[in-house]
Amino acid sequence: MLPSTLFSGIDPGWVALLSPELASRAQFGWTISVHIIFASLSIGLAPFMIYFTWKDVRTDDERFARLRSFWVKVFAVGFVMGTVTGIPMSFQFGTNFPQFSAVAGELIGGPLAFEAKMAFFLEAVFLGVLLYGRERVRDGTYVLSSVLVGVGAWLSGFWILIVNAWMQTPRGYEMVSRNGMEVARLTDPSAAFLTPRMPWMYVHMINASLIAVALLVAGVSAYIVWKTRESAAWNTALKLAVVILLVTAPVQAVHGDAYARHVEDTQPQKFAAMEAHYETDEADLHLLAFPSEVDALTDPRAENLVTVSLPRVGSFLASGGDFDAEVTGLNEYEENPPVALVFWSFRAMVGLGFLFIALALWGGYLTYGGRLFDSDRYLKAMVAASPLGYAALLTGWYVTEIGRQPWVIQGELRTGEAVSSTLTGAEATLTLAAFVVVYVGLVTTALYVLKWLIQDELRALGVNEPSGDRWRGPLPEVSDDD
């Protein structure tokens, strides 16, 4: 049901209308792919926003007032877009996957309600204070508002990941018969909410969001610094982003290594798909993989890939120290996820992760030498890398969700069984097309507003950017002091 199965089940001579199952999976996958960009923007930007607000109030420094004003506006755009793109997902549980709702409703209803009432409204109310209350509330109240907005963003991720972690490693329930249907009944809320997967997912997701936003902040800052070397505010923002990358990028690599061992323990089929490991035996670790023939792109196997591998290191990592450990292969299962999507997404995620470490170390070296703001190569590299954090985040999410297939609830409910029996291929295909068009429009709008904000900032710094835009002033109804 998730971005998992965008290509599974497609006939080589595919027709205009997709099957209800495939179209529903693609629709939910597309929806969550766009939504997660804005959700992670809120999560990752929260610490930056809190820091800039606190420093603005504490020091009354124009640098931090400028950064606070800019990034609060960006946060607001992300919050609005996240809301608009997120609401339809809850409806899709009923329209496209009613069997999933019926089976798991008692387990997922509570966390989803908590996310709306505890996190969303907290974030929404105090974001209004941040946008319009700088001159209307006391300094302490204003700083507290930024903290509460950040708490709301992180709480939102917490409750959503409780649901997803339960789908990955379900606990705290029993299957009972109700009205002739087997459904999950909550027996232990603590076990259901804090499943074995939950802490791993939450830490990894929060850190991935911090990396993505640090790269975004670094990219925007580097562009402005490149245009004008005289901006103390954006020099500060770039340096802060590099420092955060120096911490978060290596932490993600270390945590991801341990996370992979947990996946092998709890979802061995997913782990095997990550390495395209088919035979139950000792497993190598593929550091790099290249297709040796066209078929390898859609069906990667040992014989059709050119790899740079560490022999038996896959067994070592999976077992936590045993080079001779046996790793279960995909041939042991009757039905597997789309292995190619899992395999290549995993490599894209890991490769980008090491790129981020290199960029962080490069930036740290330049900072130590006092040349961070003078290196055109580094500034251009960070501008180019600014969207890559989201690429890594999405490919990591695809590994998580695609790798769980064919299960929507691991071991209990298959994705195909969760799809509505009354939904037609025409209905599902048309709504998929509508979602693609609308969400492309939303993403384009968000990018346009970000460009608008950057151009407005450059104009305020005395740099006239060539642009075909007619509007030349600040955002309507949001003054620089707000």
What local confidence, expressed as pLDDT, does residue 15 receive?
A: 42
What local confidence, expressed as pLDDT, does residue 463 receive?
A: 82
What local confidence, expressed as pLDDT, does residue 10 receive?
A: 43
| Structural domain containing residue 240 | 21-266+337-460
How many domains does one find in the chain? 1
The yes-or-no verdict on residue 475 having pLDDT over 50 is no
The tens digit of pLDDT for each residue in 99-141 reads: 999 999 999 999 998 888 888 889 999 999 999 988 899 999 9
**Mean pLDDT, all residues of the chain:** 88
The answer for residues whose C-beta is within 8 angstroms of residue 463's C-beta and 6 or more apart is 227, 228
Residue 389: inside a domain: yes
The yes-or-no verdict on residue 5 having pLDDT over 50 is no
418 neighbors 1 (Cβ within 8 angstroms): yes
What local confidence, expressed as pLDDT, does residue 16 receive?
A: 56
What local confidence, expressed as pLDDT, does residue 172 receive?
A: 94
Q: What is the pLDDT confidence band of residue 292, given thresholds at 50, 70 and 90?
A: confident
Averaged over 314-322, what is the pLDDT? Answer: 75
Averaged over 79-99, what is the pLDDT? Answer: 90
What local confidence, expressed as pLDDT, does residue 327 receive?
A: 85
Residue 367: inside a domain: yes
The tens digit of pLDDT for each residue in 410-425 reads: 999 999 999 998 888 8
Residue 406: inside a domain: yes
Q: What is the pLDDT confidence band of residue 168, given thresholds at 50, 70 and 90?
A: very high
Residue 90 vs residue 384, higher pLDDT: 384
Residue 360: inside a domain: yes
Separation of alpha carbons 55 and 236, rounded Å: 12
According to DSSP, residue 276 is labeled T
Query: How far, in Å, are 34, 273, 279, 336, 401 from residue 404 at the CA level?
Result: 20, 10, 19, 9, 5
Averaged over 193-208, what is the pLDDT? Answer: 96
CB atoms under 10 Å from CB of 303, counted, come to: 9
What local confidence, expressed as pLDDT, does residue 252 receive?
A: 96
- Alpha carbon 38 to its chain centroid, in Å, reads 9
The tens digit of pLDDT for each residue in 17-56 reads: 888 999 999 999 999 999 999 999 999 999 999 999 999 9
Residue 142 vs residue 471, higher pLDDT: 142
What local confidence, expressed as pLDDT, does residue 290 receive?
A: 83
The yes-or-no verdict on residue 478 having pLDDT over 70 is no
Angle between helices 232-266 and 20-59 (to 10 degrees): 140
